[in-house]
Amino acid sequence: MAQLVAVSVSEKKGMRKTNVDEVILEVESGIKGDAHAGPWHRQVSLLAQESIDKMRDLGLDVHAGDFAENLTTEGIDLVSLPVGTKLRIGESALLEVTQIGKVCHERCAIYYQAGDCVMPKEGIFVRVLTGGRLAPGDTITVIS
């Protein structure tokens, strides 16, 4: 069963995110209070715990939110989801995949520590179709 293992926010772009108990998703904006929220295609970022574990296996002390992802997942192969896939998370949130991976214009601290970073290759981005409250433990269901 796929689920959220962490939800994270930051006040500024380009920073590691802080894990919080819950977040509020706002339609066509993203996570309330997060620096990446706004009317664009990368409103919320997701990264799998399995991807973070790859970096831990390289000897890095990294955790959920350290790659600037908003939602850390477990049990779902994020990069295999085609653009346009819809995800139901928790009781009411509906998200649509808008981008797989990203171009890393500036090397982050993780890249310099490990010589690599998983977010540009294994992170995905979504827009919010239906808002709601998300928290660790919420289930994730692929709708289409």
What Cα–Cα distance (Å) separates residue 22 from each residue in 9, 19, 58, 62, 137?
A: 10, 9, 30, 21, 10
Residue for token digits 């919010």?
128
For 101-118, how does the pLDDT look when each residue is reduced to its tens digit (9 = 90+)? Answer: 876 656 665 555 555 667
Quick one: pLDDT at residue 15? 79
For 29-41, how does the pLDDT look when each residue is reduced to its tens digit (9 = 90+)? Answer: 999 999 999 999 9
Residue 111 neighbours by CB under 8 Å, 6+ apart: 104, 117
| Total-model pTM | 0.92
Quick one: pLDDT at residue 144? 77
Domain locations in the chain as residue ranges: 3-142
CA 34 to chain centre: 12
- Asked whether the predicted pLDDT for residue 98 surpasses 60, the reply is yes
Residue for token digits 């171009």?
103
Does domain 3-142 sit in CATH 3.40.800.10? Answer: no
